[in-house]
Structure 1
Amino acid sequence: MTLQNVARTLKTAKGRCPSTLSSNPYQHIPAFISQLLATSKPFNDSTLSDLNPATFHDILANPDLKASKCFHFFDFVLKNQSLVPFKPDLQAHLTLIGRLLQARLFRNAEALFKSVSVDENFRYPFLDIASAVENCCFEPKIMTKIFNSMLKVYSDNGKFGEVLKVFDYMKNKGIMIDERTCTVHLHALNGADELESLLDFFNQMVESGLEISVYSLTVVVDGLCRNGEMKKGREIVEEMAARGVTANVITFNTLIDSCAKRWEFDELDSVLSLMEKQGVKFNADTYKFLINGYTSYGKIEEAERLAGEMHDKGLRVDTYFYNLMINGYCKLGSIESVLLLFDTMNNRNVKPNADTYWPLISWYFKVGEMEGAMKCVNEMQKKGLELDKVMYDMLIDRFCRNGMVDEAFDLHIEMERKGFHADIPLCDQMGKLFCEINQTEKGKMLLNIMIKRGVSPKKVSFVSAIS
């Protein structure tokens, strides 16, 4: 069936009396549209030239066509505008949007709404769209979905001023506002670092009588914390608790993480007190944020106390937490505490990794205790923990600085076998030391190793000394 026949069928069907109408006057249209979309043959001008706005609207509203099929037909018409004598108007867009939303095809509906509300070439002002929606006489449920979809599309595309227009319009017209859609907009404002707008919109949500969720509250708290306003974030949590909205552990963790990273320990104490008052329990992330903050500040004993509390509550204290505490104690030079933590890890079956040993090795280097450093290195290797290039380079450098060039050379050979190459300055350092103690044979061996991996002799400073 051609589009001309489709138009004639629709026109004839509309002109008949109800008693003479067939039970399905649109019965040929679905098959025609399917055939039209499925064909791979090019179309000529006459194929779509009989299509007019009224017929197009009737096709989009046809109950025998699935909303998804209408969407593809609409897209087909848009892509073949040179063959169609008109441009789909706002009513056509809204008719299809309504059907898509009813069919829960939200992504397609939002894409279509974006074309008439955001895209530069075919954009209508919000009030024109709102008026057209009302003229389409949608049932209340669909109208609600359309306006909430508008709010989301404007928000997703950064049209924050238009979002406020939609929100106010819905509030004034008594159209139900979806709090989850508002949460999406709060996320968008937070992502755009629009803190003032974020707070203003949240206040409008509260004042409009919306039932605020903990998710919206958490987004607002996160926005404040990102801007260093932890105290204000805590105060909003207290205010919303009085309105019946209780913060959850994620909300509190947002405050705790921000306070701990900024070493705002007085405010942190206030947050922890409020958390206890509201009966919200710590989770593993809470402890992680606290231990991170305390160790970075040097409050290692407090961090260790929290790790013990985690263990007592049945929460696994993993290697990462112990590494933080070991690193902190090493910075303070409290090696006895470090060794006790190693014992604790062993007793609790927590396996160390290279990052566990390295702060202790670095401390031994710093104080010149090479024997202690090598003892840690040997223990690492016995546990199957491999050294990386950075570790090898540091070990070689420290051996050289302490005049232990033979030990440095042995490490260099081991390093090469594992596919790592020491930096040229380190090799130069070893070569000079060999020359100073008249071990020119080892100096030549070192030079050969360097040349084999492509280092030019001109870049080696000890060449003349061994010639």
Structure 2
Amino acid sequence: MMLGKCRQPAAATALFKVLLSERLKPTVDVYTALVGAYGYSGLLDEALATVDQMKGTAGCKPDEYTFSVLINCCSKLRRFDRIPAILDEMSYLGLQCNTVIHNTIIDGHGKAGMLEEMENALSNMLEDENNVPDIYTMNSIIWAYGNHGRINEMERWYSEFQLMGVEPDTQTFNIMVKSYGKAKMHEKITSVLKYMKKHFFSPTVVTFNIIIECFGQMGNIEKMEYYFRLMKIQGVKPNPITYCSLVNGYNKAGLLNKVRGIIRQTENTDVVLDTPFFNCVINAYAKFGGIKIMEEMLQLMKEKKCKPDKVTYTTMIQAYNAHGMDEAAKLLNMEVERVDGKLLGPVSEVDNK
């Protein structure tokens, strides 16, 4: 199973063969893990062949969980064309399509932006007397509509699920807040927070991060800072994503002086800063020509045992080139070659991706 999650199907196959060579009898769970190892690596034909092998092995008939893994693989790979045949096979074997499988199909179509097919999958679930929608169904549906800016449908389905007896959770509200933020519907964000407070839902660090990011992207620094203060007042501990969102907000508003304050704040906490945070800071100073401080941030990054990545070096090389510092760009590119054993590419060709 772990080899499958690490996308090492060949190693998983080898391990399975070792199991057989030691005369150990595979169980349904072992076969299902192998199905996942193939499927999550995009080897659907091998995954299906493993299911067929299970059917011919005594005591290893594939069960609902086996097929839920297989269908989940198809959904993640967006191979929805394979799902009908798999469902037919389940029916032939006398297996029922359970709530998990319905939710997997619904969520997969939603993530792929196939909203009409998603609703059809939901209709199939509602017509199935043995399964009823749950919170996972609800969150998948409202996420899909919210992510595509179809706020009216998102709100309609939010109400529909409540009428079905499905109550929202904190993740539901996080999804709605993010959707309203993308749609720049500020007042709706406030109304969700009021509803949460009224019904005793406590905002999490994810909730506050979403709000801080939303107002930062809108350039509403006053609101962004207000919710950052509120976060700390309510005892919710900021994480690297919080500070990264603050830096991006200040960067967008051109308030470079405030970025230094964020760095000082992190020094007084036990938050372990990561590479994306430093990349945000370096990008902010690079954008406004703060070359010296940009270099200091790279040094600080190394002191904190935080490994620079391609984004770090690309951003800095672009800044050097923009200020005519070709020699500095060349030296940094040479450093990358020494550290990683490969160049980012000719200095003049470094792009902004």
- The reply to whether residue 198 of structure 1 matches residue 155 of structure 2 is no
Counterpart of 2:101 in structure 1 is 181
Among 84, 103, 106, the alignment partner of 2:63 is 106
Counterpart of 1:231 in structure 2 is 152
Counterpart of 1:286 in structure 2 is 207
- The reply to whether residue 353 of structure 1 matches residue 278 of structure 2 is yes
Structure 2 gaps, min length 5? 1-20, 29-53, 303-307, 338-342
Distance 1:359 1:223, change over 3 A: closer
Asked if the contact 2:330/2:347 (under 8 Å) is kept, the reply is no
Asked if the contact 2:64/2:97 (under 8 Å) is kept, the reply is no
Distance, in Å, in 2 between the alignment partners of 1:362 and 1:108 is: 51
Among 325, 329, 335, the alignment partner of 1:418 is 335
Counterpart of 2:43 in structure 1 is none
- The reply to whether residue 379 of structure 1 matches residue 296 of structure 2 is yes
Counterpart of 2:246 in structure 1 is 325
Which secondary structure does the structure 2 equivalent of 1:282 belong to? coil
Which secondary structure does the structure 2 equivalent of 1:353 belong to? helix
Among 81, 84, 89, the alignment partner of 1:158 is 81
Structure 1 gaps, min length 5? 1-37, 39-65, 69-95, 111-147, 170-174, 366-372, 401-407, 426-467
Asked if the contact 2:216/2:249 (under 8 Å) is kept, the reply is yes
Which secondary structure does the structure 1 equivalent of 2:149 belong to? coil
Question: Percent of pairs identical after alignment?
Answer: 16
Distance 1:348 1:290, change over 3 A: same
Distance, in Å, in 1 between the alignment partners of 2:170 and 2:265 is: 29
Distance, in Å, in 2 between the alignment partners of 1:343 and 1:315 is: 19
1:3-22: CA deviation from partner (whole Å, max 9, x where unpaired): xxxxxxxxxxxxxxxxxxxx
Distance, in Å, in 1 between the alignment partners of 2:301 and 2:112 is: 47
Distance 1:279 1:245, change over 3 A: farther
2:300 alignment partner AA:
K
Asked if the contact 1:300/1:328 (under 8 Å) is kept, the reply is yes
Alignment of 1:9-408 (within 5 A): 105-106=62-63, 158=81, 178-190=98-110, 193-203=113-123, 205-206=125-126, 210-350=131-271, 351=273, 353-363=278-288, 365=289, 373-377=290-294, 379-380=296-297, 383=300, 385=302, 388=313, 390-395=315-320, 397-398=322-323, 400=324, 408=325
Aligned residues: 280
Q: What's the CA shift for 1:176? A: 7.5
1:326-360: CA deviation from partner (whole Å, max 9, x where unpaired): 23223323344334333323333555725314413
1:379 alignment partner AA:
E
Distance, in Å, in 2 between the alignment partners of 1:413 and 1:161 is: 55
Q: TM-score, normalised by structure 1?
A: 0.46
1:328 alignment partner AA:
G
Distance 1:67 1:248, change over 3 A: closer
Distance 1:108 1:274, change over 3 A: closer
Q: TM-score, normalised by structure 2?
A: 0.58
Asked if the contact 1:67/1:103 (under 8 Å) is kept, the reply is yes
1:199 alignment partner AA:
E
1:185 alignment partner AA:
I
Q: What's the CA shift for 1:298? A: 0.6
CA RMSD of aligned residues (A): 5.1
1:39-85: CA deviation from partner (whole Å, max 9, x where unpaired): xxxxxxxxxxxxxxxxxxxxxxxxxxx999xxxxxxxxxxxxxxxxx
1:120-145: CA deviation from partner (whole Å, max 9, x where unpaired): xxxxxxxxxxxxxxxxxxxxxxxxxx
Which secondary structure does the structure 1 equivalent of 2:202 belong to? coil
Asked if the contact 1:154/1:163 (under 8 Å) is kept, the reply is no
